[in-house]
Amino acid sequence: MRALLLHPAAKPVVFVLCLLPLAYLVVGAAADSLGANPAEALIRAAGDWTLRFLCLTLAVTPLRLRTRTPQLARFRRMLGLFTFFYACLHLLAYGWLDMGLDVADIGRDILKRPFILVGFTTWLLLLPLALTSSNAAVRALGGRAWRALHRLVYLIAPLALLHFFWMRSGKNDFAEVGVYAAIIGALLLERLYRYFTPRTVAGV
């Protein structure tokens, strides 16, 4: 497994796999097979994949440590950038298909509806993480400042979950919300455990 993760083809394969949800949506839109309301289907699917890629990104470090597979770290940046990519698609689909790219109407809608305000805030917080994802950005900011900035992901995750919860609350459908809440909660608790465990051991 470690040899496969280090193979030169590993990153291109993961890249193509990450594009499959987009390909499915494009083909579905072209074939008019996204249901009675294709605009809503595109908006929601892009949002769902944003949340899934966020969970995958957060899972890389725990999996790397628990399985002692440091090679997994090679894919964390790519998964994080795909999280932002699908978040951009989600925002674009909403602004274009739901609001007709009317900037004034979009601004009013963001301020009027809390769940959209939370979603837009989440996208704004993802933006600096995407812009500083390169090695050049790490060198420019310095390791400590870069790590501090990228800890915003621990705020982004619950905000994304809140956005999803409010969106589903309109139809009183919380089954998927519970699944994502359990995954994100477990991933964040694992980080808290790792943060405090070394101090406890050191104290002993």
Nearest-10 Cα torsion for 36, 39, 42, 47: -120
122: pLDDT strictly greater than 50: yes
Average pLDDT over residues 66-72: 92
63: pLDDT strictly greater than 70: yes
- Contact (Cβ atoms closer than 8 angstroms) between residue 84 and residue 130: yes
Q: How far is CA 199 from CA 165, 170, 203, in A?
A: 35, 44, 6
202: pLDDT strictly greater than 80: no
Average pLDDT over residues 48-77: 95
Q: What is the pLDDT of residue 168?
A: 87
pTM for this model (two decimals) = 0.92
Token representation of residue 149: 């900035």
- Contact (Cβ atoms closer than 8 angstroms) between residue 110 and residue 120: yes
What are the domain boundaries of the chain? 2-203
Task: Give the whole-angstrom CA distance, residue 142 versus residue 132.
Answer: 11
Return the DSSP state at 97.
I
Q: What is the pLDDT of residue 204?
A: 30
Q: What is the pLDDT of residue 148?
A: 94
Q: What is the pLDDT of residue 94?
A: 96
Q: What does the mean pLDDT of the chain come to? A: 92
Q: What is the pLDDT of residue 158?
A: 96
Question: Would you give the distance in Å from CA 115 to the centre of its chain?
Answer: 17
> Which of 10, 21, 11 minimizes the C-alpha distance to 50?
21
